Amino acid sequence: MQKRKKGMLVLKDGTKYEALCFGAIVSTSGEVVFNTSMTGYPESITDPSYKGQILVYTYPIIGNYGVPPFSYGNETISEFYESDRIQISGLIISYYSKRPYHWNMYQSLSNWLYKNRIPGLYGVDTRFIARKLRENGGALLGKILMENENIPFYDPNKDILSEKVSVKEKKTYGNGIYKILLLDFGLKNNILRCLLHRNCTIVRVPWNYNFTEEKYDGILISNGPGNPEIYDKPIHYLRKAMNKDIPIFGICLGNQLLGIAAGGSTRKLQYAHRSHNQPVISLKTGKSYITSQNHGYVLDTSNLYKDWKVFFRNLNDDTCEGIIHDYKPFFSVQFHPEATSGPTDTEFLFDIFINSVIKKKMIG
């Protein structure tokens, strides 16, 4: 039996973790973050919000059901993934499943990573690593090193990562009644699916596209990676759009960008929200929901313009989880109502958005 090669996870604070290799035997660097989900690793690994990041899974059994085929459903949208390729820079897990099995398995997780030149490490206490990351704002710069190799640290937050994950030109999906302009900063495919299920025609445009002269029934601002404060042009376009009464819905990074356009600012969280079980409360209804989240930045609402208020708050740390305008059809959320593999408690927010589009079309 061939002996497994060893590698090392090195964090910027000097901490080192020796581990066994799977996937590609290459070195990489980026921002090290964690995820607590029990299932859905193919979706997370292809989520553009993880661009430039090394992902640590706290759940010990990752890879046990392999990965599905990269097939396409309606509208040329991948059936089982959140984008058309792997987005993470590296993967850290506790236990590697050498004999995965699932009725829909096409290949093993290791083989998939190997084909895409993405390194993985296993055989370390990933929950302990997650605790260390939590103590450092939910993330630390780090690198995966193979034996006798070294590379510099890389900070993805200094780059406009949407340039790497957004579409390059306008693209249309569906043939529904409601025309939705989708600003793609690193879109998850399930946002497309949620809109198509609601009778929409989706016009997907690049992150820096000047949409101010476009005609549409509503705007959806997608999720995406990186520092929200560096997106000056899109924020300028959003401010112009807010002079109209066309419905706007922002998700994750979209929440932060809409919040900045509405007078707010963002800051790094002391403890990032990177789990599939974050409780939030609606300040409109008093109802609580379990949500999926993946973000290191949070919206500071202390300087929001008049007529804006907090929509949702996090029940763990009381941070802002969404904002809403008092009378215009604008709102956004920090969590993922489109989350796959769930929870889907807040998918009704797409209905609220589309209902506001319908109302606007009826009154003209």
What pLDDT is attached to residue 362? 85
Q: Is residue 132 part of a domain?
A: yes
- 91 and 154 housed in the same domain: yes
Looking at this protein, which amino acid is placed at residue 33?
Answer: V
Quick one: three-class SS letters along the chain?
Answer: CCCCCEEEEEECCCCEEEEEEEECCCCEEEEEEEECCCCCHHHHHCCHHHCCEEEEECCCEECCCCECCCCECHHHCECCCCCCCCCCCEEEECEECCCCCCCCCCECHHHHHHHCCCEEEECCCHHHHHHHHHCCCCCEEEEEEECCCCCCCCCHHHCCCHHHHCCCCCEEECCCCEEEEEECCCCCHHHHHHHHCCCEEEEEECCCCCCCCCCCCEEEECCCCCCHHHCHHHHHHHHHHCCCCCCEEEECHHHHHHHHHCCCEEEEEEEEECCCCEEEEECCCCCEEEECCCEEEEEECCCCCCCEEEEEEECCCCCEEEEEECCCCEEEECCCCCCCCCCCCCCHHHHHHHHHHHHHHHHC
Among residues 126, 158, 190, the one where a domain terminates is: 158
- b/e for 158-168, b at 16 or more Cβ within 10 A? ebbbbeebbee
- 126 and 196 housed in the same domain: no
Is residue 82 within 8 A of residue 43, CB to CB? The reply is: yes
- 69 and 133 housed in the same domain: yes
Peptide bond into 97 cis (omega under 30): no
Angstrom distance (rounded) from CA 249 to CA 338 = 13
What pLDDT is attached to residue 3? 66
CATH code: domain of residue 27 = 3.50.30.20
Residuewise pLDDT in 10s, the chain (364 residues)? 456 799 999 999 999 999 999 999 999 999 999 998 888 899 999 999 999 999 999 998 899 999 999 888 777 898 899 999 999 999 999 999 889 999 999 999 999 999 999 999 999 999 999 999 988 877 899 999 998 899 999 999 899 999 999 999 999 999 999 999 999 999 999 999 999 999 999 999 999 999 999 999 999 999 999 999 999 999 999 999 999 999 999 999 999 999 999 999 999 888 788 888 899 999 999 999 999 999 989 999 999 999 999 999 999 999 999 999 999 999 999 999 998 766 788 999 999 999 999 999 888 6
Angstrom distance (rounded) from CA 216 to CA 12 = 46
Q: Is residue 1 part of a domain?
A: no
Q: How many domains does the chain have?
A: 2
- Contacts (Cβ under 8 Å, ≥6 apart) of 116: 24, 85, 86
Q: Is residue 94 part of a domain?
A: yes
Query: What's the token pair of residue 125?
Result: 């206490």
CATH code: domain of residue 348 = 3.40.50.880
Angstrom distance (rounded) from CA 284 to CA 263 = 21
> Computed from CA positions of residues 200, 204, 207, 210, in that sequence, does the dihedral angle turn out positive or negative?
negative
Read off the pTM: 0.95
Angstrom distance (rounded) from CA 49 to CA 253 = 9
Domain interval for residue 198 = 162-363
Query: What's the token pair of residue 216?
Result: 């549409």
What pLDDT is attached to residue 266? 96
- 143 and 258 housed in the same domain: no
End-to-end CA distance of the chain: 71
Is residue 165 within 8 A of residue 89, CB to CB? The reply is: no
- 111 and 196 housed in the same domain: no
Among residues 130, 158, 186, the one where a domain terminates is: 158
- 90 and 209 housed in the same domain: no
Angstrom distance (rounded) from CA 71 to CA 199 = 23
Greatest C-alpha distance within the chain:
72
What pLDDT is attached to residue 1? 41
Torsion-angle region of 87 (φ positive above 0: left; ψ -120 to 50: alpha; else: beta): alpha
- 150 and 212 housed in the same domain: no
Is residue 200 within 8 A of residue 223, CB to CB? The reply is: no
HSE of 49, CA atoms in CB hemisphere, 13 A: 29
- 300 and 250 housed in the same domain: yes
Is residue 81 within 8 A of residue 50, CB to CB? The reply is: no
- 142 and 194 housed in the same domain: no
Among residues 158, 187, 204, the one where a domain terminates is: 158
Q: Which of 21, 194, 200, 252 is catalytic?
A: 252
- 183 and 287 housed in the same domain: yes
- 175 and 190 housed in the same domain: yes
Query: Is 252 considered catalytic here?
Result: yes
- 148 and 169 housed in the same domain: no
